[in-house]
Amino acid sequence: MRTVTFADEDLCAWLNKTFVLAWFDVKPDSTVAGLAPLQHAYAAEEIAAYPEGGGGANIRTLVCNPDGVVRHALEGWWPADKFREECERGRACVAADSLEAAKAIRTKAAAGLETAAAAIEQQNPEEMRKPIRESKVARQAAALRLRATSFRIMDSAVGQSVLALTSEYFEDGEGKVMK
């Protein structure tokens, strides 16, 4: 996210204007040596091949209302355009009349993503038979499904206080799936 998504200056300018941005480090006492298995400098070709939604529980994005209640959440790495889409969705969830309305926005979005994935799969049966790394179309469908899945994984975060949630992460400190 650091070197790709947040290198997009237009995205960054928009994020700065739209949100108060907070970075929560789940391993604050870490050093490169201690985290060598988790972090290394990606080569350009590795970055290009990194799957959308990859990283899972290592990267979580929480969009909260001004009182710090989570209204939208997802996991994984997303390129700038998809990340902006999700942040826009987060804004809609924050602006929703109620928590239930915010959840409904997420549920509808997840269903829409899965429908879009199914349409791609149905229209491109030959591509779906190829190994995913050999098919841009298959990767597109997989990314849509992964995005929908990441919403569902983070459903339990919606409605929680961001302080309470992040204190659980801090104690756990392993970036594992939330309690």
Partner 1 sequence: MKIRATLFALLLAAAPLFAEPAGEDQFRTWVRQLASDDIQVRDAAQRELEKLDGKWKPELKKALAAATDPESRARLGSVLEILCHPQWHTDLDEAMALAKSGNKPLLVLVTPGAPDGFS
Q: Which residues bind partner 1 (CB under 8 A)?
A: 1-2, 6, 9-10, 12-27, 30-32, 35, 38-39, 58-68, 71, 87, 90-91, 94, 162-163, 166, 169, 175
Chain centroid to CA 106: how far? 13
Q: Quick one: 19 or 50, whose CB is closer to partner 1?
A: 19
CA distance 37 to 70: 30
At closest approach, how far in Å is the CB of 30 from partner 1?
6
Is residue 120 within 8 Å of residue 26, measured between CB atoms?
no
At closest approach, how far in Å is the CB of 117 from partner 1?
26
| Interacting residues of 50 by C-beta distance below 8 A, sequence separation 6+ | 42, 77
Q: Quick one: 133 or 176, whose CB is closer to partner 1?
A: 176
At closest approach, how far in Å is the CB of 148 from partner 1?
20
Buried-exposed string 22-42: b where 16+ CB fall within 10 A, e elsewhere: eeeebeeeeeeeeeeeeeeee
Q: Quick one: 20 or 43, whose CB is closer to partner 1?
A: 20
Q: Quick one: 16 or 115, whose CB is closer to partner 1?
A: 16
